[in-house]
Amino acid sequence: MNKILELENLEKEVSSCFKCKLSNTRTRTVFGEGNPNAELMFIGEGPGKNEDLTGRPFVGKAGELFTRILEKGFGISRTNVYIGNIVKCRPTVDMNFEKDRPPEKDETYSCSPYILRQIEIIRPKVIVSLGNPATKFLLNTDEGITKLRGKWFDFQGIPLLPTYHPSFILRSDSETAKQEIWEDLTKVMNKLNWEIKVKIKWKN
Ligand code: URA
């Protein structure tokens, strides 16, 4: 079966998933999007408010920053990479649906077969995990992102590099963190032998 069909079938399965409690509060599932033949795959933690409403990953504030870093900072179009999340439904703190929270362990484990299958289908050359939940799950570790970021790991034969989640950059507005995410993604570009076409650092 070709990749597009496989991803479409999996997306259908995800859209009717009720394996965990996040299915009770979601508006839409957020499967992931991008090039099925992507060499580079980004994995975030889970949909936020805007993602839940639109069904698309990384389209809220953190997503806008992520897109700016990719497109303006490195000259990579979102459509050339694949963007997915560890969980496909939005984790919220309460029924007011205002605040997001990281996925809980049981939610991550119920949902994880989907992201694992996406990785298997796409088989990228490099994976970048964004933030703690994705990194901890994929590397099966309790070590935090500040220790792990910027280093290469192996995920089932695929080089994986953890870096900060863009929402951390937004929250902290730390110049050091901005510099570090820049360095991390430069390593990824070098690993893929991709030319950095635009050398402008983004502005928040
Ligand atoms: N944060 C994530 O981790 N994923 C999204 O899709 C949006 C925000």
Q: How high is the pLDDT of residue 195? A: 83
Distance 30 CA to ligand 1 centre (A): 9
Instruction: Assess whether the C-beta atom of 168 lies below 6 angstroms from ligand 1.
Output: no
Q: How high is the pLDDT of residue 189? A: 95
Instruction: Assess whether the C-beta atom of 85 lies below 6 angstroms from ligand 1.
Output: yes
Helix (H, G, I), strand (E, B) or coil at 127: strand
Q: Which helix (H) or strand (E) holds 102?
A: none
Q: How high is the pLDDT of residue 93? A: 82
Per residue of the chain (204 residues), what is the pLDDT tens digit? 799 999 999 999 999 999 999 999 999 999 999 999 999 999 999 999 999 999 999 999 999 999 999 999 899 999 999 999 999 999 988 766 678 999 999 999 999 999 999 999 999 999 999 999 999 999 999 999 999 999 999 999 999 999 999 999 999 988 999 999 999 999 999 999 998 766 555 555
The answer to whether the beta carbons of residues 22 and 91 sit under 8 Å apart is yes
pLDDT digits (tens, 9 = 90+) for 172-193: 988 999 999 999 999 999 999 9
Q: Which domains does the chain have, with CATH numbers?
A: 3-191 (3.40.470.10)
- Ligand 1 atom closest to the Cα of residue 86 is 3
Q: How high is the pLDDT of residue 139? A: 98
Q: How high is the pLDDT of residue 198? A: 63
pTM (predicted TM-score):
0.95
Interstrand relation of 158-163 and 153-155 (parallel, antiparallel or unpaired): antiparallel
Instruction: Assess whether the C-beta atom of 33 lies below 6 angstroms from ligand 1.
Output: no
Q: How high is the pLDDT of residue 203? A: 55
Q: How high is the pLDDT of residue 154? A: 98
Q: How high is the pLDDT of residue 1? A: 72
Q: What is the DSSP secondary structure assignment for residue 123, as one 8-state letter?
A: -
CA angle, corner 145, sides to 141 and 148, nearest 5? 70
Instruction: Assess whether the C-beta atom of 58 lies below 6 angstroms from ligand 1.
Output: yes
The answer to whether the beta carbons of residues 35 and 82 sit under 8 Å apart is yes
Distance 20 CA to ligand 1 centre (A): 18
Instruction: Assess whether the C-beta atom of 51 lies below 6 angstroms from ligand 1.
Output: yes
Whole-Å CA distances, 201 to 114, 122, 155, 171: 34, 29, 29, 18
- Looking from the CA of 81 toward its CB, the CA atoms found within 13 Å total 25
The answer to whether the beta carbons of residues 157 and 163 sit under 8 Å apart is no
Distance 4 CA to ligand 1 centre (A): 22
Helix (H, G, I), strand (E, B) or coil at 191: helix
Distance 102 CA to ligand 1 centre (A): 10
Distance 79 CA to ligand 1 centre (A): 16
**CA–CA gap between residue 48 and residue 183 (Å, rounded):** 26
